[in-house]
Amino acid sequence: MTAPLKDFSKLSIHTITTKPWALEEAVRNYSAAGVKGITVWRQALEGRDVKASGQMIRDHGLTITALCRGGFFPSTTPEGRALAIDENRRCIAEAAALGAPMVVLVCGAIPGLSLFESRKQITDGLAVLAPHAAAAGVKLAIEPLHPMYADDRSAVNTIGQARAICNELKSPAVGIAVDVYHVWWDDRLEQEIAACGREKTLFGFHICDWRTPTTDLLNDRGLMGEGCIPIRQIRGWVEQAGFTGFNEVEIFSHRHWAGDQHEFLQSIQHAYLDRS
Q: Which stretch binds Zn ion (CB under 5 A): 145-153, 165-173, 193-201, 206-214?
A: 206-214
Q: Under the criterion CB under 5 A, does residue 206 sit at the interface with Zn ion? A: yes
HSE at residue 162, side-chain half, CA atoms within 13 A, is: 35
Cβ 68 vs Cβ 42: under 8 Å: yes
Q: Which stretch binds Zn ion (CB under 5 A): 24-32, 186-194, 205-213, 235-243?
A: 205-213
Measured from the CB atom, the residue of 179 and 209 that comes closer to Zn ion is 179
Dihedrals phi, psi of 70, to nearest 5 degrees: -110, -165
Measured from the CB atom, the residue of 146 and 206 that comes closer to Zn ion is 206
Residue closest to Zn ion when measured from CB atoms? 179
CB of 143 to Zn ion, least distance (A): 5
Q: Which stretch binds Zn ion (CB under 5 A): 31-39, 58-66, 69-77, 249-257?
A: 249-257
Residues numbered 103-142 forming contacts with Zn ion, rule: CB under 5 A: none
- In 10 A of CB 150, how many CB atoms? 16
Q: Under the criterion CB under 5 A, does residue 146 sit at the interface with Zn ion? A: no
Q: Under the criterion CB under 5 A, does residue 179 sit at the interface with Zn ion? A: yes
Burial bucket for residue 88 (CB in 10 Å: 0-12, 13-18, 19+):
buried
Which residues make Cβ contacts (< 8 Å) with residue 135, sequence separation at least 6? Answer: none
Please calculate the CA angle 114-220-196 and round it to the nearest 5 degrees: 55
Q: Under the criterion CB under 5 A, does residue 186 sit at the interface with Zn ion? A: no
CA distance 141 to 143: 6
Residue from 110, 250, 253, 269 binding Zn ion (CB under 5 A) = 250
Instruction: Write out the residues near Zn ion by the rule CB under 5 A.
Output: 179, 206, 250
